[in-house]
């Protein structure tokens, strides 16, 4: 199960050809939805603005080692497009953190 998740994340990274935003000093990097490219936050000197907690509470969906999706709708659309399966809660939400960030 764990190996399968790692393999899936590697596949996502290959598909998107991107890793985590580069964190250089005095650099602002846009953090955008992996699916629709909507702006979710900025990474300013390695600090997410708004914070990852605020983004998560606003309904954006973080995927470990892959990036962010702006909504459950984009998470579902991403799964279909790239033929991957995200971890879901018992309520069917894509959520790797079970409400705890």
Contacts 24+ apart (CB under 8 A), 19-26: 20/65, 20/67
What is the rounded distance in angstroms from the CA atom of residue 92 to the CA atom of residue 21? 28
Nearer to Zn ion, 8 or 74 (CB): 74
Under the binding rule (CB under 5 A), the answer on residue 56 touching Zn ion is: no
Quote the least distance from Cβ 39 to Zn ion, whole Å.
10
**CA–centroid distance for 28 within its chain:** 18
Residues 14-43, mask of contacts with Zn ion (x by CB under 5 A): -------------------x-xx-x-----
Among 74, 75, 94, 95, the residue binding Zn ion under the rule CB under 5 A is: 74
């Amino acid at each position: 199960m764990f190996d399968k998740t790692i393999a899936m994340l590697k596949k996502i990274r290959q598909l998107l050809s991107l890793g985590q935003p580069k964190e250089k000093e005095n650099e602002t990097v846009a953090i955008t939805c992996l699916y629709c490219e909507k702006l979710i936050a900025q990474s300013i000197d390695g600090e997410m603005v708004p914070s990852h907690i605020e983004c998560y509470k606003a309904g954006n969906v973080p995927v470990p080692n892959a990036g962010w999706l702006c909504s459950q709708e984009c998470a579902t659309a991403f799964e279909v497009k790239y033929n991957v399966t995200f971890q879901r809660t018992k309520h069917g939400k894509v959520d790797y953190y079970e409400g705890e960030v």
